[in-house]
Structure 1
Amino acid sequence: MVAGAHTCCHNSAQKCGCKRGYYTQYYGDKPELIKEAIAWTESGIWRNGFDKAKPHSSVNLADFYLQYQKNPQQWQALFDYLAKTDLLSIPKGKHKIPGSDLVVSVEDSKNEPLEKRRSESHNKHIDFQYVVKGTERFGVIDHYSSTPNCKYRPDVIHYDYDRRKARFFDSTPGEFFIFFPRDWHIAKVANDGEDQTIRVIVVKVDYKD
């Protein structure tokens, strides 16, 4: 399957057998947009020299396509930085991305049991996450069975959710994750292995209405 082409959970809110629910922005009523987004992603025009990874199959490609068109400067600067930087040797911490006002957060961290991790989403930013060492488990939660449990402060909100309806994905070095405002997600969840040590590259890209 083409990454992001799965319409029930990735590009629409239609129900399916995998996990019934609504996990991302709905584009099922815009088949031409979905087709354009898939073709654009496969073309690699967005890469700007970055060839180490591709979008994970959970990434909403319609959102990726639309946001890139609305904010090309930041996305181009991000992928140019990823292409030219040794992400395994760069010191941990925050670094400015040349040619933009973006900041990359290089995090050497450890996954934790699900009960210790909080779900979240953002209104004004897109969460770009690329795990370059180790395996991080990400979760996305169903909108229908989730409710906010706090106020936005300043651009993050957390949810109470039904764990049975959450969907989980393990990272690989060849894929990155992008969480848009309608992707209510959980990060740094413990995987099934013994080693929970990870290095993850996190960038908050501006979301454009």
Structure 2
Amino acid sequence: MITDTIANAGRYAALHPDFADALALLQTLDFAALPDGQIPCDNPNIRLFVGSEPMRTREAAKPEAHLHHIDIQVPISGSETYGWAEKGRLKNGLGYDTQRDIEFFDDEAETWFELKPGEFALFFPNDAHAPLVGSETFIRKAVFKIRTAETRIE
């Protein structure tokens, strides 16, 4: 997992073949002006979604993880708290959904942190994350889904 400011995002471009494209979008798009829904990207290995999501309590937030995608999550309208745990330490998987590339866990997050607008979190497949925690009713956010190096389209 990586957290940083959007201004520093370019530092991570070399970590994955598609990060340069994703991070360029992260640094140049005006997320507040984008409509809700999937935003077109020229790179077939990147999907970008913008939308409003309901918030929840820490107790209600279950860690999730992906096998074939890396997430970059960006709060747009307010602060968002995330739980984090190393996926390999979680014991109570609730089943993997192949269509959505997601597995939820009935375990507690090990670490909690907050992101504010202008910051991002990057979650690799080993990073189980529990997003959408906060006291507001909804948050508007952007989520990049980037294919892992093993599943990317050439």
CA distance in 1, matches of 2:6, 2:88: 35
CA distance in 2, matches of 1:143, 1:90: 32
CA distance in 1, matches of 2:48, 2:88: 32
CA distance in 1, matches of 2:88, 2:48: 32
Higher strand share: 2
CA distance in 2, matches of 1:125, 1:144: 17
Q: Which runs of 5+ in 2 are unaligned?
A: none
How far the C-alpha of 1:145 sits from its partner, in A, is: 5.2
CA distance in 2, matches of 1:168, 1:136: 11
Q: Is residue 184 from structure 1 mapped to residue 128 from structure 2 by the alignment?
A: yes
CA distance in 2, matches of 1:144, 1:206: 20
Whether the aligned pair in 2 keeps the contact of 1:139 and 1:168 (CA below 8 Å) is yes
The equivalences for 1:98-137 within 5 A come to 98=42, 100-101=43-44, 102-137=46-81
SS at 2:27 equivalent: helix
Q: Which runs of 4+ in 1 moved over 4 A?
A: 142-145
Distance change >3 Å, CA 78–CA 65, structure 1 → 2? closer
Report what 1:84 is aligned to.
28
Whether the aligned pair in 2 keeps the contact of 1:119 and 1:184 (CA below 8 Å) is yes
SS at 1:181 equivalent: coil
Root-mean-square deviation (Å) = 2.7
CA distance in 1, matches of 2:8, 2:54: 23
Report what 1:198 is aligned to.
139
Count how many residue pairs are aligned between Structure 1 and Structure 2.
145
Q: Is residue 150 from structure 1 mapped to residue 94 from structure 2 by the alignment?
A: yes
CA distance in 1, matches of 2:33, 2:61: 27
How far the C-alpha of 1:66 sits from its partner, in A, is: 6.3
TM-score with structure 2 setting the length = 0.78
Distance change >3 Å, CA 91–CA 85, structure 1 → 2? same
Q: Is residue 208 from structure 1 mapped to residue 149 from structure 2 by the alignment?
A: yes
**How far does the alpha carbon of each residue in 1:97-148 deviate from its partner, in whole angstroms, 9 at most, with x for none?**
13x1122100112311123322111111101101122011111025575214
Report what 2:114 is aligned to.
170
CA distance in 2, matches of 1:196, 1:143: 28
Whether the aligned pair in 1 keeps the contact of 2:62 and 2:107 (CA below 8 Å) is no
TM-score with structure 1 setting the length = 0.60
The match for 2:107 among 156, 161, 170 is 161
Whether the aligned pair in 2 keeps the contact of 1:94 and 1:106 (CA below 8 Å) is yes
Q: Which has the higher contact order (CA 8 A, sep 6+)?
A: 2
CA distance in 1, matches of 2:66, 2:146: 11
The equivalences for 1:57-96 within 5 A come to 67-68=15-16, 71=17, 74-96=18-40
